[in-house]
Structures are given as structure tokens and as C-alpha cells.
Amino acid sequence: MKETAKNEANMQYHLAAAAAVIVLALFVPFPLWKWSILLLTIGIVLSLELLNTALENTVDLMTEQYHPLAEKAKGCCGCRSVYIYNNSCSYWCSAVCRALSTWL
């Protein structure tokens, strides 16, 4: 993960977002079970980004020339990561809004 964090811009983005989310979540009165789901969600997003990087590097290793199937494979990997990230953000934004509306 250390190597990926140094070389992959998307992993750096996800790590920065995870750090920001954790810091912001400290100010929201979440019960313990929501904290565990939050950390699990962050772990899933980071794991899928690592898998995405591994699959993209494998595709690059297997073909030196441009191939439409290689482009499709890399596109599918990237779309999966974006899909999971967007769903996670949507869920946690609604959870924060609900928590803040009851807190304020």
C-alpha cells in the first residue's frame, strides 16, 4: 500500500479523503456501531483502489501495444472504484446530515 500511495494519484486522493472524513466524523455524535461501519467503508474503498491498481498494472504488463480489450478492462476497473466511492460518499453524507439534524 505504501508504494501505491506514493505512485498513484487516486490512492493519494482516497487517503486524503479518508483522513478528512475521520477528522470531520470526530465532530459528529456517531454511536460506536456507525464508527465501525465508517472504518469498514474506508477499508473497502482503499482495498478496491489497491485491486484496481493491481488489475491495471497487470493489463499493462500483459500488453505493450494498445488493444481495445485492455482499454475496456482498465475502464471497468476504474468504474467499479468510482461506483463504490460514490455510493460510500452518498451514504455517509446522508448519515451526517441525519446526525446533525438531530444534534442541532
Question: What pLDDT is attached to residue 103?
Answer: 66
Q: Which of 2-11, 18-27, 66-75, 81-90 is least confident?
A: 81-90
Q: Is the domain 2-103 a CATH 3.40.50.1970 member?
A: no
**Contact present, 42 and 34 (Cβ < 8 Å):** no
Closest of 91, 62, 92 to residue 74, by C-alpha: 62
pLDDT of residue 58: 87
Start-to-end CA distance of the chain, whole Å, equals 39
Give the side-chain half-sphere CA count within 13 A for 35: 11
Residue type, 38: L
Q: What is the pTM of this model?
A: 0.77
* Strand boundaries in 53-103, DSSP class E: none
Q: Which of 15-19, 39-43, 87-91 has the lowest mean pLDDT?
A: 87-91
**Cα 83 vs. chain centroid, distance in angstroms?**
9
